[in-house]
Chain A
Amino acid sequence: MQEIVKGIPLNWFIILSGILFSIGVMGVLFRRNAIIIFMSIELMLNAVNLLLVAFSAKWGDASGQVFVFFTMAVAAAEIAVGLAILVVMYRNTKSTDIDVLNKLKG
């Protein structure tokens, strides 16, 4: 497996995760649906994970992979909390559109 990964030039990984990350950012910026925004955030996190794993394999340093495990654990926790918030939000507003949440307007 490692051989296959090593066979792919590092630049491709960087470009791929850059694209994924940008798609995530765009999703967060332009979509209204809170669930999709969540998915976009996951995309951004995974883009970073990919980059970390790639560099880890390149330099033969395991700490990059350890980082990834942490990121995944944190992401899981974040999703658990975030989805709970979403459920409550839906119960209160009957929608998942974030534009509804503008009560904090100064």
Chain B
Amino acid sequence: MIQVAYLIPIFPLVGFLILSLLNKRLSKGVAGIIACGALLASFCIALGIFMNMDGKAVEVPLMDWIKAAGFTANFSFLIDPLSSIFLLIITGVGFLIHVYSVGYMHDDENHNIFFSYLNLFVFFMLMLVMGSSYILMFVGWEGVGLCSYLLIGFWFKNKSYNDAAKKAFIMNRIGDLGFLIGMILIFKTFGSTDYKTVFSAVNGFNSSSGVITAITLLLFIGAMGKSAQIPLYTWLPDAMAGPTPVSALIHAATMVTAGIYMVARSGLLYALSPVSMTVVAITGLITALFAATIALTQNDIKKVLAYSTVSQLGYMFLGLGVGAFSASVFHVMTHAFFKALLFLGAGSVIHGLSGEQDIRKMGGLKKSMPVTYMTFLLATLAIAGVPPFSGFFSKDEILGAAYAASPVYWVIGVITAMMTAFYMFRLLFLVFFGEFRGDHSIHAHESPKVMTVPLMVLAFLSTVGGFLGIPKSLGGNNAIEKFLEPVFQKAQSQPSLAGGSEAPEIVLMVITVLLAAVSIWYAYKKYVQEKEVPAAEGTKLPALQNTLYHKYYVDEIYSAVITKPLDKVSGFLESIIESKFIDNIVNKIGTAVEWVGGWLRQLQTGNVDFYIFAMVVGIVLMLFFKMM
């Protein structure tokens, strides 16, 4: 079974080629079937591999790729428990989102191109998680960045969407540079970028050796860009400019977890460097809290979800940073379910309201969109960490591990969890409860079956997905941790991670759940009983709220500190160096050439006689000098 793993990325690639080459010649229906079919085929193989996974890492060689002086890179895939879980998430959630897109993008004029981009994205994402070396991961890494750019700017006629796409691309490039340098350093240190070689050679390094710390920090810069961590997170909320299925697939469920995958894959390296682990944990923690506070005041349905994604990604990095690798991967999985569902639900609402995204103009959609409401409710319960929904188990496992590392981590994590519960229920209540506050000429309607069925499947997964990882303290056997154990065993046995106090798990869980319940109750009181609606645009807000509403002015700060000075420098270079100095040299060279040419052209008399004469004289001179 594992030997056919190479087919998994082939299907979406073929789908992409067919769709992009035949573009307008295919009807929308056929294009949708090809795109979804490619994903379904990949999903079936991924499922087969997952079922047959026995914990061993198998390398599936495909071909020699690069062979140049002292450097070899093979094109081969690595199938182990970690990548098989990611394959399942990508192809499974990806398939559902493809199906949903058939309904959502039905009236778009570039329907077929949209699906070709989606297939291309899935192909690169699969390369990213299947590659057996850092260099192959980098190929996928860059590829998904490209697809993200193409899809954010999919409605390219709108300039601000294009700007958002460029912002995402540039922010990612900053991170990618870190990854690239880290990769070069890996090659320099280990002589190869193959996981196998690197992870077996790593035993020779002491704990907290400088070079390992440098490598892991550089790789983490890459992860910061891709997974939207402070300080490179600002692109993700803007990325919501893309069509909603894109936000669900790329900016919630799969691509943004590439950073998590990379850190988890390099777990052994990270485990050797306590400094990097601390950096990862603290960055994740701050991002989680920071993004959650911003989400409290946002009024765009997709922006709230975007900041909640940033916040949840922060959780995952917190988990990685305290050594709970499998808990983080577990959270990636549950998050993929409920966040994809939230985005698709939001898309369904936007679709039903003919493009309205402002939650102040929604309300009372419970009756007109019952399926969307029910599924959205389940996802909200899952993200808020209400037992027994999936988010509860994965989040609690991370929080438990954070408590074992340091109670401070736990306290901040729980505060974030409270905020998460609050802003998610604020969103739910404002959208689905109360009276409809929008334009009454819009007739809210439920979305077609092709969109609601994926919602239902994801709702089912968000509800039961957590049972894969019931912790021991609740009488479960934590299947997912067992499943991933072969991958993380070595990393987790490093001295820097072993030990740490045992957390009183049950107590922590009860506290978290109670606090989440309090926030939900508070949101209910505020937005359902008192029918409060966020202030309209332009009203004066209290200072703190205002700061949050403007996202701490981070975009403005970046603009003032980085963009504006860069513009100034560019302006200076343009007006002084470029026009006065370089232009001058170029112009002078041009004048000189013209002058010499004007002089030389006198030789071209146009007279054949003269040419022949010159030729004969030339030959005679040559012979003469030859004989000398």
Q: Is A77 an interface residue (CB 8 A)?
A: no
Instruction: List residues of chain B with CB within 8 A of the CB of A4.
Output: none
Which candidate, A11-19, A64-72, A79-87, A95-103, is the interface stretch facing chain B?
A: A95-103
Q: Is A28 an interface residue (CB 8 A)?
A: yes
Instruction: List residues of chain B with CB within 8 A of the CB of A106.
Output: 600-606
CB distance from B87 to the nearest CB of A (A): 68
Instruction: List residues of chain A with CB within 8 A of the CB of B607.
Output: 99, 102, 105
Q: Are B609 and A98 in contact (CB under 8 A)?
A: yes
Q: Is A48 an interface residue (CB 8 A)?
A: no
Q: Is A29 an interface residue (CB 8 A)?
A: yes
10 more A-B residue pairs beyond the given contacts A29-B613, A29-B616, A106-B604, with a C-beta to C-beta distance below 8 A? A25-B616, A28-B612, A28-B616, A98-B608, A99-B607, A99-B608, A99-B609, A104-B604, A104-B606, A106-B601
Instruction: List residues of chain A with CB within 8 A of the CB of B613.
Output: 29
A101 to B602, CA, bound (A): 17
Contact with A along B586-628 (1 / 0, CB 8 A): 0000000000000011111111110011001000000000000
Which of A28, A103, A106 counts the most chain B CB atoms within 10 A?
A: A106
Instruction: List residues of chain B with CB within 8 A of the CB of A98.
Output: 608-609
The 8 closest A-B pairs by CB, nearest first: A105-B606, A106-B604, A106-B601, A102-B606, A98-B608, A104-B606, A102-B607, A28-B612
Instruction: List residues of chain B with CB within 8 A of the CB of A101.
Output: 606, 608
A28 to B612, CA, bound (A): 8
Contact of A29 among B602, B604, B612 (CB under 8 A): B612
Instruction: List residues of chain B with CB within 8 A of the CB of A99.
Output: 607-609
A28 to B606, CA, bound (A): 17
Interface residues of B (CB under 8 A from A): 600-609, 612-613, 616
A8 to B596, CA, bound (A): 56
A22 to B125, CA, bound (A): 79
Instruction: List residues of chain B with CB within 8 A of the CB of A25.
Output: 616
* 8 A Cβ contacts from A19-52 to B: 25, 28-29, 32
| Number of A-B residue pairs with CB-CB distance less than 8 Å in the complex they form | 33
Instruction: List residues of chain B with CB within 8 A of the CB of A32.
Output: 609
A55 to B157, CA, bound (A): 81
A104 to B603, CA, bound (A): 11
Interface residues of A (CB under 8 A from B): 25, 28-29, 32, 98-99, 101-106
Instruction: List residues of chain A with CB within 8 A of the CB of B608.
Output: 98-99, 101-102
Instruction: List residues of chain B with CB within 8 A of the CB of A28.
Output: 612, 616
Find the A residue at minimum CB distance from B606. A105
CB distance from A74 to the nearest CB of B (A): 18
Instruction: List residues of chain A with CB within 8 A of the CB of B602.
Output: 106
A79 to B525, CA, bound (A): 105
A98 to B612, CA, bound (A): 11
A103 to B608, CA, bound (A): 10
Q: Are A103 and B616 in contact (CB under 8 A)?
A: no
Q: Are A105 and B604 in contact (CB under 8 A)?
A: yes
Find the B residue at minimum CB distance from A32. B609
A99 to B611, CA, bound (A): 11
Find the B residue at minimum CB distance from A31. B609
Instruction: List residues of chain A with CB within 8 A of the CB of B605.
Output: 102, 105-106
Find the B residue at minimum CB distance from A30. B609
Instruction: List residues of chain A with CB within 8 A of the CB of B616.
Output: 25, 28-29
Interface pairs (9), CB distance under 8 Å: A28-B616, A29-B612, A29-B616, A32-B609, A101-B606, A105-B604, A105-B607, A106-B602, A106-B604
Instruction: List residues of chain A with CB within 8 A of the CB of B609.
Output: 29, 32, 98-99
A25 to B615, CA, bound (A): 11
A63 to B250, CA, bound (A): 77
A105 to B608, CA, bound (A): 10
CB distance from A101 to the nearest CB of B (A): 6
Instruction: List residues of chain B with CB within 8 A of the CB of A104.
Output: 604, 606
Find the B residue at minimum CB distance from A98. B608
CB distance from A55 to the nearest CB of B (A): 18
CB distance from A25 to the nearest CB of B (A): 6
A104 to B612, CA, bound (A): 15
Instruction: List residues of chain A with CB within 8 A of the CB of B604.
Output: 104-106
CB distance from A37 to the nearest CB of B (A): 8
A84 to B592, CA, bound (A): 42
A29 to B613, CA, bound (A): 6
CB distance from A32 to the nearest CB of B (A): 8
Find the A residue at minimum CB distance from B610. A102
Which of A32, A99, A102 counts the most chain B CB atoms within 10 A?
A: A102
A105 to B602, CA, bound (A): 8
CB distance from B610 to the nearest CB of A (A): 10
A25 to B620, CA, bound (A): 11
CB distance from A49 to the nearest CB of B (A): 19
A32 to B607, CA, bound (A): 11
Instruction: List residues of chain B with CB within 8 A of the CB of A105.
Output: 604-607
Instruction: List residues of chain A with CB within 8 A of the CB of B612.
Output: 28-29
A17 to B513, CA, bound (A): 114
Instruction: List residues of chain A with CB within 8 A of the CB of B603.
Output: 106
CB distance from B608 to the nearest CB of A (A): 4
A98 to B613, CA, bound (A): 13
A32 to B608, CA, bound (A): 9
Find the A residue at minimum CB distance from B613. A29
A93 to B603, CA, bound (A): 24
A102 to B608, CA, bound (A): 7
Instruction: List residues of chain A with CB within 8 A of the CB of B606.
Output: 101-106
Instruction: List residues of chain B with CB within 8 A of the CB of A102.
Output: 605-608
Find the A residue at minimum CB distance from B601. A106
A98 to B605, CA, bound (A): 13
Which of A32, A101, A104 counts the most chain B CB atoms within 10 A?
A: A104
A29 to B606, CA, bound (A): 15
A52 to B613, CA, bound (A): 26
CB distance from A41 to the nearest CB of B (A): 10
A84 to B608, CA, bound (A): 18
A105 to B605, CA, bound (A): 5
CB distance from A51 to the nearest CB of B (A): 15
A25 to B616, CA, bound (A): 8
Find the B residue at minimum CB distance from A100. B608
CB distance from B107 to the nearest CB of A (A): 63
CB distance from B602 to the nearest CB of A (A): 7
A95 to B402, CA, bound (A): 100
